[in-house]
A and B are shown apart, each in its own frame.
Chain A
Amino acid sequence: AQSVTQPDIHITVSEGASLELRCNYSYGATPYLFWYVQSPGQGLQLLLKYFSGDTLVQGIKGFEAEFKRSQSSFNLRKPSVHWSDAAEYFCAVVSSGGSYIPTFGRGTSLIVHP
């Protein structure tokens, strides 16, 4: 069965600092990988996704993520964080040859200090 691990429950950064949120997955084949953001009281918004091809994926709001097959990772990065980036971030995996049902990590809460 596929699984997703987000090892950091909370991350605190200063505004303007760089950010990296970690995501590791467990799946036999190459999965489809997603990052979502959830602002307080809102649903999930897609930041970016990886299906195949270039392993560095650009998303919305200045985010990017890099797929590393050897490390089973799909870490999310942003070079300079804004206060409005404070939110909950979820990594998700979908099996490429099966049911297309997303499995989510437990989420990482991003706190941004002024």
Chain B
Amino acid sequence: DVKVTQSSRYLVKRTGEKVFLECVQDMDHENMFWYRQDPGLGLRLIYFSYDVKMKEKGDIPEGYSVSREKKERFSLILESASTNQTSMYLCASRRGDGYTFGSGTRLTVV
């Protein structure tokens, strides 16, 4: 089975900190995605990547950036964390018609 691993299940960060959320997949998938999940809003796409060093903005990219230096790793970066970025963050990867999601990182910004 494809595995998508998000390094942290829970994170607590202070306002203004630079935050890195890491996502690693083990099956050589080209496409990777970062979603944010909030109650009543479902999953909203932040950024996605079609391949190494390629990135595209999703629906809500403001306040975020991403890095994909290696095919298996897709990092989400909060340049200066704010309280409105408190949320659950889900990473996913895709090859063909199969999408695999990580277990999520619940980030709290205080």
Interface residues of A (CB under 8 A from B): 6, 9, 32, 34, 36, 41-46, 49, 51, 90, 100-107
B residues adjacent to A (C-beta < 8 A): 4, 9, 31, 33, 35, 40-45, 48, 58, 90, 92, 94, 97, 99, 101-104
Complex: A107 Cα to B38 Cα, angstroms:
10
Q: Out of B44, B45, B101, name the residue touching A44 (CB < 8 Å).
A: B101
- Per the bound structure, the CA–CA distance linking A73 and B102 in Å amounts to 28
Given contacts A101-B48, A102-B99, A106-B40, contact A42 B94 (CB under 8 A): no
Please indicate the chain A residues that have their CB under 8 angstroms from the CB of B48 in the complex: 101
CA distance A44 to B103 in the complex (A): 7
B104 close to A100 (CB less than 8 A): no
14 contacts across the A-B interface (CB closer than 8 A): A9-B40, A32-B97, A41-B104, A42-B104, A43-B90, A43-B104, A45-B101, A49-B97, A90-B43, A100-B31, A101-B48, A101-B58, A102-B99, A107-B40
Contact A101/B45 with A9-B40, A46-B99 known, Cβ cut-off 8 Å: yes
Q: Which residues of the partner chain A approach B33 to less than 8 Å between Cβ atoms?
A: 101-102
CB–CB B42/A90 < 8 A: yes
Known: A43-B102, A43-B104, A46-B99. A104 touches B94 (CB 8 A): no
